[in-house]
Structure 1
Amino acid sequence: MSRPAACDAVGVHPRQGYRWFKAARGKNPFERAARSGRYLSEEERLRIADLRLAGAGVRRIAAELGRAPSTISRELARNSSRGGAYRPYAAQKRCRERARRPKPRKLDRIKLALQVELRLVRNWSPEQIRDDLARTFPDRPEMHLRTGRAIRRHRGEPRRASWSKIRDMILISERPAEADDRAVPGHWEGDLIVGINARSAIGTLVERTTRYVMLLHLPNGHSADAVRDAMIPTIQTLPEHLRRSLTWDQGTELARHKDITLATDLAIYFCDPHKPWQRGSNENTNGLLRQYFPKSTDLSVHSPERLLEVADELNQRPRKTLNGQSPAVVFARLQAES
């Protein structure tokens, strides 16, 4: 079929047909379907060009294509020449290039990858690595694993409610200022490390001044009742001046926090949602504990004696933050004080 006959068959001017032929370079000019309903197809772009030549406005074009006027307006603004002529083939080419352009991965950066690897060999979780990098390199965004933008959601996906299931929480913002600088002992941070399929757990308590570790034996699960029953006798072994406060995340395992406070006189504060760095000592300790209690194992098999053994091993390690002393030595000195 000749070009004029083809133009007549599809109802376009021969000049438009010639433009199609030149742009397609002898190939089928149409990509019949767009990659998704969100994107304009090549056929739609050609239709936009025809309607523009016919003098149609944005709203009429939108009605013809079944698209929002804002979509057509953006398309024309993005892909028109300085003289105002719309270029459908150039628009389609740019669309394809944007879709397949290589998106660099953050871990292709050698320095960042090395920092991540150093933390992975210490059994840190992805969240711990992300948060520690943000603290270690506060002014170097290229060394961060998150950009800070909100999590992307598919259109129409319902947002989850942000309310907590824990009643009568006291947030960390109300915690005494003395707990922040670690000068006054007796302020603790707590959390759970969980085993395979989150069916088993071990409770962890870290004293903020000395980094002293205590572990909670939870052989029958980590419900709120189980955590309460394990924590109360553990806290009661401490002298009163070493049970000033406990900071925990908003996990439901501490829903019985009022019972714990009533039995031990220990004030309990809760972190803001999704901010584990507010329990920095505890998060770092959990990373060390993963050397002994891997995430892919059943943690309920460990006896109370084994937990004491692991805690003692950590507490005997000399710490630079304690001028080379171990948490056990410093904590024992504090226990002896009246």
Structure 2
Amino acid sequence: MIEVVGTGRLLSLQDRLVIADGLINRESMRSIAARLGRPTSTVTREVAAHRDEQGRYAPHRAHRDAADTRARPKASKLARPGALREYVVDGLSRKLSPEQISNRLKVDHPDDESMRVSHETIYQALYFQARGGLGA
């Protein structure tokens, strides 16, 4: 058995090979996670996200897919024009904090999931604006 201590936040190819080896040997997710020094939920999510059509876990493909996903970050909800962005810009112009805006959205639009944004996303947009983007 390969004994590996998890290093860093992201799974390495070696980590994924240990997961595949554990699955082939019918180890529990908990046992595999312990060998990696990772939370069980990390291994469970990894396997669920990267099974093929036949339900098999392919570590090399999983590693490539994870790298591709990291290389293409999702655009911020506030980067696109629309009602959510207008609401946030209006709240900021009224000197509301990002936390207040985020909480207020839940009250003002309780049934509209598209009108949700975390305070962290608002802070990121403000940082981006200060660097020359997201005109308000």
**TM-score tier after normalising by the smaller chain length:** 0.5 to 0.7
Equivalence for 2:134: none
1:109 aligns with 2:81: yes
Question: Among residues 76, 92, 100, which one is paired with 1:127 in the alignment?
Answer: 92
1:83 aligns with 2:54: yes
Q: Which has the larger radius of gyration?
A: 1
After superposition, the Cα gap between the structure-2 partners of 1:148 and 1:84, relative to the gap in structure 1 and judged at 3 Å, is: closer
Q: Which amino acid aligns with 2:81?
A: R
Equivalence for 1:64: 35
Equivalence for 1:149: 118
1:46 aligns with 2:17: yes
> Residue 86 of structure 1: CA displacement?
0.9
CA distance in 2, matches of 1:148, 1:112: 8
Aligned pair count reads 102
CA distance in 2, matches of 1:54, 1:84: 15
After superposition, the Cα gap between the structure-2 partners of 1:111 and 1:74, relative to the gap in structure 1 and judged at 3 Å, is: closer
Which consecutive unaligned segments of at least 5 residues does structure 2 have?
1-5, 122-136
CA distance in 2, matches of 1:56, 1:150: 40
Greater relative contact order (CA < 8 Å, ≥ 6 in sequence): 2
Q: Which amino acid aligns with 2:93?
A: Q
> Residue 56 of structure 1: CA displacement?
2.5
CA distance in 1, matches of 2:59, 2:46: 9
Query: What does 1:186-225 align with in structure 2 at a 5 Å threshold?
Result: none
CA distance in 1, matches of 2:82, 2:74: 16
> Residue 80 of structure 1: CA displacement?
1.8
After superposition, the Cα gap between the structure-2 partners of 1:151 and 1:79, relative to the gap in structure 1 and judged at 3 Å, is: same
Q: TM-score, normalised by structure 2?
A: 0.53
Aligned-pair identity (%):
29
Query: What does 1:1-338 align with in structure 2 at a 5 Å threshold?
Result: 37-105=8-76, 106-109=78-81, 127-128=92-93, 147-149=116-118, 151=120
